[in-house]
């Protein structure tokens, strides 16, 4: 496969309404596939909402991966339509809850990522991610995953880039930043752009709109190229929509890593710091 179409599905889930959210997702996914999408990306906690009022409420809507209702629906979609999908889900593993993203394809579950950097009220509900920052080989390219607040940590981007990631998918529920200026892009967008540029990777972030109770969300989903420039979006801040970008993840590798003047991965000072920043994930080829 060469050029693929990425679709970020900016949705408006209702807190706790799993079946309704799954039904709404199915409609949006069908639209994206009808428009030629090969890879669909859904927001963080896409089937449940995010701002739970209690641990008990979070447990009620959590599901095991990949046996739960949402995962079964996504797996069937990938199998029947021949697409890949990244989506955020509240995962239950024994007595622990994780804010999780899954990567699926026509042949089943490819990989799971658990949010490493929990934010605000999440610290009450979720165990910190314990799967590291893996990167997965797919027919589309090498794909890694982040969730929302993880994008504020440059180490996460760099560790995936050092493993040869072509694309980082970021299911998100971005919230307003109190000091955000109206004349500048959202901070989340700037972080995606900057880290794409400094790590030579594509970044596709699907956020959400609406509110959970008193907690609003800002949408502004975005797809960014390896130079840091938006290919699609930012999406609106107040309505569901789908943004698309056509990219060649595998075929672009030589261009991304062939700049004769500056090369952020090649030019690292590995005599000053460890190549993998202390992670036990193996470095990859890029």
Selecting among 81, 115, 122, 169, the annotated active-site residue is 115
- Verify whether residue 71 is a known catalytic residue: no
- Verify whether residue 91 is a known catalytic residue: no
Selecting among 8, 29, 44, 192, the annotated active-site residue is 44
- Provide the token pair at 239: 């309505």
Selecting among 29, 148, 151, 192, the annotated active-site residue is 148
- Verify whether residue 44 is a known catalytic residue: yes
Catalytic residues: 44, 115, 148
């Amino acid at each position: 496969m060469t050029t693929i179409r990425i679709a970020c599905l900016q949705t408006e889930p209702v807190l706790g309404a799993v079946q309704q959210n799954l039904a709404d997702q199915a409609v949006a996914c069908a639209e994206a596939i009808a428009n030629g999408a090969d890879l669909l990306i859904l927001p963080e906690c896409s089937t449940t909402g995010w701002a739970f009022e209690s641990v008990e409420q979070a447990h009620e809507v959590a599901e095991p991966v990949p046996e739960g209702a949402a995962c079964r629906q996504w797996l069937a979609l990938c199998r029947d339509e021949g697409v890949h999908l990244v989506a955020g889900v509240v995962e239950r593993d024994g007595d622990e809850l994780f804010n999780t993203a899954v990567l699926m394809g026509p042949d089943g579950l490819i990989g799971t990522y658990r949010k490493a950097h929990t934010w605000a009220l999440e610290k009450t509900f979720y165990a910190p991610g314990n799967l590291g920052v893996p990167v997965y080989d797919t027919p589309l390219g090498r794909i890694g995953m982040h969730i929302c607040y993880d994008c504020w940590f440059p180490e996460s981007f760099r560790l995936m880039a050092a493993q040869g990631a072509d694309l980082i998918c970021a299911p998100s529920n971005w919230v307003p930043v109190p000091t955000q200026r109206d004349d500048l892009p959202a901070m989340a967008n700037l972080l995606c752009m900057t880290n794409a540029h400094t790590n030579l990777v594509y970044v596709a972030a699907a956020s959400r709109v609406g509110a959970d109770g008193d907690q609003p969300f800002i949408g502004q989903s975005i797809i960014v190229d390896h130079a840091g420039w938006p290919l699609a979006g930012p999406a609106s801040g107040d309505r569901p929509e789908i943004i698309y970008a056509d990219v060649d993840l595998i075929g672009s590798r030589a261009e991304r890593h062939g700049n004769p003047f500056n090369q952020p991965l090649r030019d690292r000072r590995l005599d000053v710091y460890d190549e993998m920043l202390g992670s036990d994930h193996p470095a990859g080829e890029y």
